[in-house]
Structure 1
Amino acid sequence: HHADNSNFASNIDRKELYEQINMSMKALMTDSWVSNLSNAAALLWHGFQSQGEPLNRVNWAGFYYEESGKLLLGPFQGKVACQEIEIGKGVCGKAALELQTVRIEDVDEFPGHIACDADSKSEIVVPIVRDGVLLGVLDIDCTVLGGFDTLDQQYLEELCAILS
């Protein structure tokens, strides 16, 4: 059953969590970009909710895809979000422009932060790139400061490589 991939033990550490997410994503990959992003958002959301702080305080996890030089809202889990982001604007736009992960400990300290949800305090955005071309970004917000570290970054970059 595909839904079984959404079951995460509450006693696993973050490394094990991400290994399970990425292994599940490899098994779920199809030729459909939308289906893949949808399942990735669901895996991340359910995985984060199974954890202790700070990951259980993730309040948005999803994707923006590149189209006509802009980032457009794609599959996600969380509250209703901004539908369009200019490349170069905000945390998502910076990651898209530079094709580099951007990890923000405190969004209020980031010049030009686009606040879709005032509850968000920290954010990580990972670009999805194939052959040097931007396909989109993975965007994850957390309601606590410093919600993401280098371990999160490493495994989320691996997930985005799988999705590309």
Structure 2
Amino acid sequence: MFVSADRPTLVKGLRDLADFLDANPKIPIPTFGTVTVHYFPTGTDEQIRAVIDRIADYLGSSINPADLKAGHYGTSISFGPATYNAVGILARARAQYAADASYRGCVTPDFVESPEALDDFGGSSATRRRGNLFARLWAFSRLWLSIQRRRGR
């Protein structure tokens, strides 16, 4: 169930990346960074949990309790800064994401695209409208809080 036609390609790519970074020490890498390979099973919540439980058995790892708070069911194993992470996104979290994403594109920020938009005092019409923007953000935050209260959060 875990074997994919792309598996050899991914493993080769990881080895090639490691070889490249090893052979090119002048290429910068993150000082405190990590590399993570993610696997996201699909299906019903029960199917997702079963897959993640089997992966945890293979890895000899446990289910991450911090993931449960976010509606995720996951396990991982690390090799220094490199990690394999299997995470199932449960139905409740997927539904919440879909609801949150339904607002995407509804709010657009004011910004200055070019120096020509600046006025004689170094400000811009966006700067003068800042008070209006903050008023709209405050109103939006009040609306969001009232929705969260109705949902019982």
Q: With a CA cutoff of 8 Å and minimum separation of 6, indicate the structure with the bigger relative contact order.
A: 1
TM-score normalised according to structure 1 size: 0.27
Given the two structures, how large is their TM-score scaled by the length of structure 2?
0.29
Q: Which has the higher helix share?
A: 2
Going by fraction, where is strand more abundant, 1 or 2? 1
Q: Which has the larger radius of gyration?
A: 2
